[in-house]
Amino acid sequence: MNENKNRHEFLSQSGKVITACAQLGALSPTSYAAQSTVKSGKVNNAFKITDKHYYLDNVLLESGFVFEDKVVVHTLTELKTLEINNGKIVALHEKQLNQNNALPRYDAGGKLMLPAMRDMHIHLDKTFYGGPWRAPNRPEGTTIRDMIKLEQKLLSELQPYIQERAEKLIDLIQSKGTTIVRSHCNVEPTSGLKNLETLQTVLTRHQSSLTCEIVAFPQHGLLLSKSEDLMREAMQMGAHYVGGLDPTNVDGSMEKSLDAMFLIALDYGKGVDIHLHESNSAGMAAMNYMLETVEKTPQLKGKLTISHAFVLATLNEQQVDEIAERMAAQKVAVASTVPIGTLHMPLKQLRDKGVVVMTGTDSVIDHWSPYGLGDMLEKANLYAQLYIRPNEYTLSRALAIATGDVLPLNDKGEQMWPKVLDDASFVLVDASCSAEAVARISPRIATFHRGEMVWGSVGKVG
């Protein structure tokens, strides 16, 4: 296959994801993902998998660690044929042996299979992505209340584009291997329930290709903007989590704000996912109050996520240990973008203490930040750069933050994933093992969600 010809065909399709006859690896789809958006072109019909029951040959799976003096020096892999039926991996065959010749057969080209990536904090309803370049404008000293005022003007400007841009954002994250998502969605008097309605419409269209929970987010302050009734309506409309925001700095009444948030969650049997940016004593007081509330309210155990939780970066090691133990006991999770700079979150210490730490994009590009790539493998790489001494073992473990702690190998090197009857939700990566994928942020080749290829391309056999 002539690569120049492919390139020409690609360009003539004005940015559609390339597939036609592309030799896998010779022309990686991801080399085009650096464009301002990834188009919804999806795969060429020739290689689009529409079958429910099929084989995927030449899938590279991790099978163990090689140890030298008890130190992991290498990751072993093996090529397998996956049999996928009705969204599940129903068998892992030795290569092409004793199989049903009537089934369609595709070729993963020896690419590494990794678990589906999970973006657990994104704002699909509020983005500049997919529109013209626009830098944020947050001069030093801009407060969160200033940003709320800015939003009250900006949101009506963005509203006509919510659907189009959410679609493009979904295309972007799928091109990075993400198909499991938790999206915050503005619910406040400026947007009303419009953002939620629109996002739900988009997600309905993507229900076979993306699993997305929604957090109703009172971005302008639950109490400050008098959003409680709207939040209750959002719960009735099917939002999965009650959101919240800086109860002292924004709402001016920490206990009242948090009580109102938890009450909505309890009334509707939902979880809570709060944006807590406060990094001073107010932030600590809010953390303690939330933990106390969960400790005395068994229905909230395992149902609280604290997004950002910047105050944890201000604690010493012993203080982190103490609060981490309480969080782990109540299964309180942290969702972090893995921030870089002066704020060093104790993410590894939290994980080591048993706290669930998830990561997410937050802003891809919007009035808060222009830097998001929508790539959870990049977040695993950031985590590795900030928290570990890189070697084969630690790099392979760092992948966990991107995949909801699903890893191909356990700490001893035993194969844990995929197993027969697991969801066929995974990403094919141009890497030899997890450690390389994390260190090099390796190109993604194809993304599958419950058996459906939702992005990229594979070869067809026969």
Owner of token pair 């309210």: 297
Nearer to Zn ion, 125 or 362 (CB): 362
Nearer to Zn ion, 148 or 453 (CB): 148
Nearer to Zn ion, 243 or 418 (CB): 243
Q: How far is the CB of 360 from Zn ion (least distance, A)?
A: 8
Nearer to Zn ion, 171 or 273 (CB): 273
The count of other CB atoms within 10 Å of the CB of residue 288 is: 12
Contacting residues for 277 by C-beta, under 8 A, at least 6 apart: 144, 246, 249, 283, 308, 310
Q: Does residue 188 belong to the site contacting Zn ion (CB under 5 A)?
A: no
Please tell me the distance from the alpha carbon of residue 263 to that of residue 259, in angstroms, as a whole number.
6
Q: How far is the CB of 340 from Zn ion (least distance, A)?
A: 17
Contacting residues for 38 by C-beta, under 8 A, at least 6 apart: 15, 17, 32, 168, 171, 172, 175
Q: How far is the CB of 212 from Zn ion (least distance, A)?
A: 15
Q: How far is the CB of 126 from Zn ion (least distance, A)?
A: 9
Q: Which residue stretch of 187-195, 357-365, 412-420, 438-446 sits at the interface with Zn ion (rule: CB under 5 A)?
A: 357-365
Q: How far is the CB of 233 from Zn ion (least distance, A)?
A: 21
Q: Does residue 423 belong to the site contacting Zn ion (CB under 5 A)?
A: no
Q: How far is the CB of 184 from Zn ion (least distance, A)?
A: 5
Q: Does residue 278 belong to the site contacting Zn ion (CB under 5 A)?
A: no
Long-range CB pairs of 295-302, under 8 A, 24+ apart, other chains included: 295/326, 295/330, 297/262, 297/266, 299/266, 299/269, 300/262, 300/265, 300/266, 300/272, 300/330, 301/330, 301/331, 302/330, 302/331
Q: How far is the CB of 90 from Zn ion (least distance, A)?
A: 38
Nearer to Zn ion, 246 or 362 (CB): 362
Please tell me the distance from the alpha carbon of residue 149 to that of residue 244, in angstroms, as a whole number.
17
Q: Which residue stretch of 90-98, 190-198, 355-363, 440-448 sits at the interface with Zn ion (rule: CB under 5 A)?
A: 355-363
Count of positions on this chain that bind Zn ion (CB under 5 A):
1
Roughly how many angstroms between the first and final C-alpha of the chain, as a whole number? 17
Buried b (16+ CB within 10 A) or exposed e, 362-386: bbbbbbbeeebbbbbbbbbbbbbee
Q: With 0-12 CB in 10 A as exposed, 13-18 as middle and 19+ as buried, what is 102?
A: exposed
Q: Which residue stretch of 26-34, 361-369, 418-426, 454-462 sits at the interface with Zn ion (rule: CB under 5 A)?
A: 361-369
Nearer to Zn ion, 79 or 373 (CB): 373
Measured from each CB, the residue nearest to Zn ion is 362
Q: Are 108 and 78 in contact (CB under 8 A)?
A: no
Q: How far is the CB of 336 from Zn ion (least distance, A)?
A: 11
CA-based torsion, 422, 424, 425, 429: positive or negative: positive
> Which position among 278, 362, 392, 423 is part of the footprint of Zn ion (CB under 5 A)?
362
Q: Which residue stretch of 111-119, 220-228, 296-304, 356-364 sits at the interface with Zn ion (rule: CB under 5 A)?
A: 356-364
Nearer to Zn ion, 362 or 392 (CB): 362
Nearer to Zn ion, 362 or 436 (CB): 362
Q: Are 438 and 377 in contact (CB under 8 A)?
A: yes
> Would strands 426-429 and 444-449 be described as parallel, antiparallel, or unpaired?
antiparallel
Q: Which residue stretch of 11-19, 75-83, 141-149, 362-370 sits at the interface with Zn ion (rule: CB under 5 A)?
A: 362-370
Q: Which residue stretch of 196-204, 224-232, 360-368, 370-378 sits at the interface with Zn ion (rule: CB under 5 A)?
A: 360-368
Contacting residues for 68 by C-beta, under 8 A, at least 6 apart: none
Q: Using CB under 5 A, list all residues that contact Zn ion.
A: 362
